[in-house]
Chain A
Amino acid sequence: MFVPQAFISMYLPAIYAGLIVGFIGTMAIAINRRELHILILTDIVGLAMIFVVSAVGTDLAEALILPGLVVELAETLAISEILITREMRKIEQDPRANLAKSSSIFPQAFSLDMEIMTTAPNFIALVLIGYGIFLTGFTGGAVAGGGIVLYALSKKARGLPVLMLDGIAGVSGIAWCLWIIGFLLFFVAPQYWLLSLFLAACGLLLKVASKVGLIGLLMREDIDNE
């Protein structure tokens, strides 16, 4: 018996949960009328698909979740691209249609001068990066990358210059090589499994952290353009 009985008995509830979530998502889509909301709600139906696929719970299912996620992501990107193109065409045809009346969240001048606003983001970012390095692997990379993003965003929000790391893409590439070498070593020389495990884990940490950090930098550039 390779799979404990507890996990096998969870299969049907998981499938029902996935189908119910999908049903709720489609109901919400039917009720909603705004297109952007519909697009976001369809992602819930996509997540329900991941539910149903992952309910199988074997190695093969794990290999199926990844293409499922990629397809989901690609479809979301394609549809949002369509939405953007269509809105651009509409604005081209009638440039004044988009001039909606908007108001700010803070109608009056609003200033906060508290010490915690300047020190806490740095501390939280440091803790996140430290914890991410401790975790290693994919999760650690995501946590550390979140710390980097938080640091960049909080500095940007205060109007301070952000340290620009041009070499981040290079770090990402080297980390990728570490990961590949670790994997190769795993198959070529299994007796060094600990070394290859750490190579792969640290490579993945750097890779994911630099990727998430890059997202933060890209966001910063977008803010600059505005």
Chain B
Amino acid sequence: MDFVTLGGNLLGTIRLGDIVLYLTPFSLFLFAVLLGFTVLIGLSKPETQVEATMHYLNNTEVKVGQKELKQRRFLAVICGIASAGAMITGDLFNFTLFMALVGILNIGIVSAVKQTSVLDSAFNYGLIAMMCSLPLFGGAAIILAATGTLSLAVLSQMPASPMVVLGAVLMLLGILGESGVAPFFASKAEMFRTAGSPYIVIIHLSSLFIIVRAVEILLLVLW
């Protein structure tokens, strides 16, 4: 499918050697929204969770140390920028790399929390993400081998051969695992249940946006 049918009028291209970024209202909108969210997350103050104490009538605050919060904020901002990069990139392999980077940063954000259940979940998610790097990168490599290019602008003009379909299916599998949606959500569900909310939210946000973008990329490659 042509990217003009999917994303609206072509506003321009940015040529960086053989990596060509194309700007459509769709990708620009996703990019701008994600950057806006990243700025909001970078500026906002973290929330404090209050937990009811068992058998007593008082509440306990779940506090996060200043140093850990700073590290978490840094990783959250980088995660936002990486997802924004995945929104605007015009190169198949760059998309997979941004995706893998978001996966690593998601693990990093929760790496220092105190709840063992959250760490358990992060460990499981990390294992799934690592296993899914095989279909993710492998799919991109198979598409490269079948067509000879990674540029989405060129790929969208080509008819899909069986090898490209195989590569796209593998990539879909990799994206599902790496962003922790549908069949793999069980690994990621517990990762949000900790204090320090605005920084934790970027885990959720990045995978949502990346799925939207992945649908566009798969449509470009397959049709």
Q: Is A42 an interface residue (CB 8 A)?
A: yes
Contact yes or no, A46 B144, CB < 8 A: no
Contact yes or no, A75 B133, CB < 8 A: yes
- Chain B residues positioned under 8 Å from A82 (CB to CB): 107, 111, 119, 122-123, 126
Cβ-Cβ contact count across A and B, 8 Å cutoff: 108
Q: Is B32 an interface residue (CB 8 A)?
A: no
| Interface 9-mer from A83-91, A132-140, A173-181, A199-207 | A83-91
| Interface 9-mer from A63-71, A113-121, A208-216 | A63-71
Beyond A56-B141, A67-B97, A78-B104, whether A85 also contacts B119 by CB under 8 A is yes
Contact yes or no, B111 A75, CB < 8 A: no
Beyond A72-B133, A86-B119, A89-B114, whether A49 also contacts B138 by CB under 8 A is yes
Contact yes or no, A52 B104, CB < 8 A: no
Interface residues of B in 104-155 (CB under 8 A from A): 104, 107-108, 111-112, 114, 116, 119-120, 122-123, 126-127, 129-131, 133-134, 136-138, 140-142, 144-145, 150
Distance to closest chain B CB from A142 (angstroms) = 24
Distance to closest chain B CB from A10 (angstroms) = 12
- Chain A residues positioned under 8 Å from B126 (CB to CB): 75, 78-79, 82
Contact yes or no, B133 A85, CB < 8 A: no
Q: Is A76 an interface residue (CB 8 A)?
A: yes
Distance to closest chain B CB from A44 (angstroms) = 10
Chain B interface category by residue count: 20 to 34
- Chain A residues positioned under 8 Å from B107 (CB to CB): 75, 78-79, 82
CA distance A64 to B133 in the complex (A): 13
Contact yes or no, B130 A75, CB < 8 A: yes
- Chain A residues positioned under 8 Å from B133 (CB to CB): 45-46, 49, 68, 71-72, 75
Residues of A within 8 A of B (CB): 11, 15, 18-19, 22, 25-26, 29, 35, 38-39, 42-43, 45-46, 48-49, 52-53, 55-56, 60-61, 64, 67-68, 71-72, 74-76, 78-79, 81-83, 85-86, 89-90, 93
Residues of B within 8 A of A (CB): 93, 97, 100-101, 103-104, 107-108, 111-112, 114, 116, 119-120, 122-123, 126-127, 129-131, 133-134, 136-138, 140-142, 144-145, 150
**Pairs of residues from A and B, 6 with the lowest C-beta to C-beta distance, nearest first:** A52-B138, A79-B126, A86-B119, A49-B134, A53-B141, A71-B100
